[in-house]
Amino acid sequence: MQFQKFPDATYLVPVGKSVKEKVILGLDPGTNIMGYGLIEVRGTKLTLLQYGVIHLSKYEGHELKLKKIFDRVLSLIDEYAPDEVALEAPFFGKNVQSMLKLGRAQGVAMSAALSRDIPIVEYAPKKVKQSVTGNGNASKEQVARMLMTLFTIKELPKLLDATDALAVAVCHHFQKGNAASKSKSWESFLKDNPERLR
């Protein structure tokens, strides 16, 4: 029998066999860089499976970027089989065009999860920071350093979008998945979030 050792894990998982309790995929949507982070939850123990960024600035045209977001999120889902997906909700800024593009990126990431019938949950940026650091106004660096301690990460990543996404997954775990916006399909998502139809 072959075994696969996960980073920072204290156990081996037989290849093709699953002993996971729950896997959470956290996403930090963006149109130039999109962060992702995957954690495994076993009781109270959290294990870092993978985190990183999807580089999108090299693609021309917003439509192609959206397709790459969909494809890459789907490949992460197919590879790690997360039980739930948590996303950081876009913050409201003054630039309407940026907000529109960010909303599309988030929608495409959501549709990738929903196409595999995976429940999705949204968290406001302040909620994520509060959950991870205890301070809703914490900086990206403070969030990253807290996660470095939690997961024994030795080096601060160059792009903090990765740790932002990891923070969303950790926030979801701390919330026990009881957010009001949890949805299992487009129909239930729209029913739970009627304001998103405007």
* 43-78 pLDDT, tens digit each: 888 999 999 999 998 888 889 999 999 999 999 999
Q: Give the pLDDT confidence of 17-29 residue by residue, as tens digits.
A: 444 489 999 999 8
**CATH code for the domain in which residue 31 is found:** 3.30.420.10
Q: Which domain holds residue 116?
A: 3-177
Rounded to 10°, the helix 125-133/161-174 angle is: 80
85 part of a folded domain: yes
Q: Which residues are catalytic?
A: 28, 88, 161
From the annotation, which residues make up the binding site for Mg(2+)? 28, 88, 161
pLDDT in the model for residue 11: 35
Q: What is the DSSP letter of 184?
A: S
- For the chain, the first-to-last Cα distance in angstroms comes to 54
**Tally of domains in the chain:** 1
Rounded to 10°, the helix 140-151/125-133 angle is: 40
Rounded to 10°, the helix 140-151/161-174 angle is: 70
79 part of a folded domain: yes
- Asked if 11 and 20 touch (Cβ cutoff 8 Å), the reply is no
191 part of a folded domain: no
Q: What is the mean pLDDT of residues 176-193?
A: 53
Task: Kindly state the percentage of the chain with pLDDT values over 90.
Answer: 61
From the annotation, which residues make up the binding site? 28, 88, 161
